């Protein structure tokens, strides 16, 4: 992953001063760099986002002793994969699909209450349909598979991907902006590259330090900033 940092520039109008090799781009009140150092601007439209979910539909006829497994996978908090498998053996007096889904909802909810709330918001059963919802809409993270050895019962999974949020206060906090500095309901977002000149001991090096910047500002200044970047 490329090194990055975030800049908050509420009510600031980006500009370029100077010309030619002396041109400087003013990104915030406290951050200006030579225009030749910046490139690859990408703008994002502010979006509230919708957390993804995994829906496991239990159907058919389960029998006592049938084995069922639901496995959840997520990368919501890091590049590492978190995998949790939940198993259930169908019991006497609880062979209905509602009973099976209720058992899984209870297992997953217990883990959410014990610390998985940063990954999953809820696990709810409705008449044999188990819905596990991701905790936040900041990444397309949730995956799910289900298995059963039942001769007549089934477990079918449908995953609805997250609609990723952009420019929301939670997105800024996730990228290192202090919550107390955030005053708007949403922000323009611009991602771009700064390749700063740096001393290098190697003759075959270009002598650049490359960092990615996430810039957050008032609408419509994101489009203004993107238009200034070569």
Q: Which stretch of DSSP H or E encloses residue 114?
A: helix 97-114
pLDDT band of 198, cuts 50, 70, 90: low
Rounded to whole angstroms, what are the CA distances from 57 to 128, 145, 154, 173, 212? 6, 11, 8, 35, 42
**Do 179 and 85 share a structural domain?**
no
Query: Which of the residue ranges 67-76, 96-105, 115-124, 187-196 has the most confident prediction, judged by mean pLDDT?
Result: 96-105
Residue 178 has pLDDT above 90, yes or no: yes
- The domain tally of the chain equals 2
pLDDT at 41 over 90: yes
Res. 159 pLDDT band, cuts 50 70 90 = very high
Same domain, 115 and 82: yes
Are 62 and 106 contained in the same domain?
A: yes
Site of tokens 């979006």: 47
Give the residue from 124, 140, 160 where a domain finishes: 160
Structural domain boundaries, residue 189: 4-47+166-228
Q: Which of the two residues, 59 and 76, has the higher pLDDT score?
A: 59
Judge if 33 and 102 occupy the same domain: no
Regarding whether 94 and 113 lie in a shared domain, the answer is yes
How many Å apart are CA 144 and CA 99, to the nearest integer? 20
Domain boundary among 160, 176, 199: 160
Q: Which of 115, 159, 156 is nearest to 140 (CA)?
A: 159
197 and 153 in a common domain: no
76 falls in which pLDDT band (50, 70, 90)?
confident
Q: Using one digit for the tens of pLDDT, what is the confidence trace for 98-138?
A: 999 999 999 999 999 999 998 899 999 999 999 999 988 87
Which of these, 8, 47, 45, lies nearest to 28 by C-alpha position? 8
Domain boundary pick from 145, 160, 175: 160
Where residue 206 falls among pLDDT bands split at 50, 70, 90? low
The overall average pLDDT reported for the chain is 91
pTM of the predicted protein model: 0.69
Per-residue pLDDT tens over the stretch 45-59: 898 889 999 999 999
Instruction: Judge if 15 and 36 occupy the same domain.
Output: yes
pLDDT over 90 at 21, yes or no: no
Q: What is the pLDDT of residue 138?
A: 74
pLDDT band at 78 (very low <50, low <70, confident <90, very high): low
């Amino acid at each position: 992953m490329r090194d990055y940092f975030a800049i908050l520039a509420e009510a600031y109008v980006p500009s370029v001063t100077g010309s030619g090799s002396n041109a400087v781009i003013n990104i915030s009140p406290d951050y200006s760099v030579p225009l030749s150092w910046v490139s690859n601007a990408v703008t994002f439209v502010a979006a509230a986002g919708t957390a993804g979910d995994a829906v496991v539909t239990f159907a058919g006829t389960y029998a006592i002793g049938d084995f069922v497994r639901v496995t959840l996978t997520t990368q919501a908090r890091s590049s590492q994969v978190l995998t949790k498998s939940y198993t259930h053996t169908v019991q006497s007096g609880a062979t209905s699909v509602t009973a099976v889904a209720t058992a899984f909802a209870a297992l997953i909810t217990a883990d959410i209450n014990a610390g998985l709330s940063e990954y999953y918001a809820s696990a709810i059963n409705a008449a044999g349909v188990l819905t596990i919802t991701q905790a936040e809409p900041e990444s397309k993270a949730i995956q799910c598979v289900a298995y059963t050895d039942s001769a007549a019962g089934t477990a079918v999974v449908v995953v609805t991907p997250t609609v990723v949020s952009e420019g929301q206060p939670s997105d800024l906090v996730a990228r290192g902006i202090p919550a107390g500095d955030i005053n708007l309901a949403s922000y323009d977002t611009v991602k771009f590259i700064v390749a700063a000149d740096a001393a290098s001991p190697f003759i075959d090096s270009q002598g650049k330090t490359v960092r990615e910047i996430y810039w957050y500002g008032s609408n419509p200044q994101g489009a203004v900033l993107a238009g200034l970047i070569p």
